[in-house]
Amino acid sequence: MAQVSSHFFGLSSFARHAVVAARNLMKVSADVPLDLLGPLGCGIMTGAGAVMKALKL
């Protein structure tokens, strides 16, 4: 059987299924609306990366 893999920026916020590294996973309550959680993956990671690079943390 062929191995299933993919890696596009290491995240897939709006995907139903995604192949990711275990360290990229976050467990959330089933009652939290996904339309609120989805944008956080990109927004937080992009913002954190910008701050860390700008401040050279």
Domain locations along the chain? 1-57
pLDDT tens, residue by residue, 1-54: 666 666 656 555 566 777 777 887 778 898 988 788 877 767 777 888 888 889
Region of residue 9 (left: phi > 0; alpha: psi -120 to 50; beta: else): left
Tell how far CA 32 is from the center of its chain.
16
**Model-level pTM?**
0.38
Evaluate whether 44 touches 13 at the Cβ level (below 8 Å): no
pLDDT given at position 45: 74
Give the three-class secondary structure for 52.
Answer: helix
Residue 4 CB contacts under 8 Å (≥ 6 apart), including other chains = 19
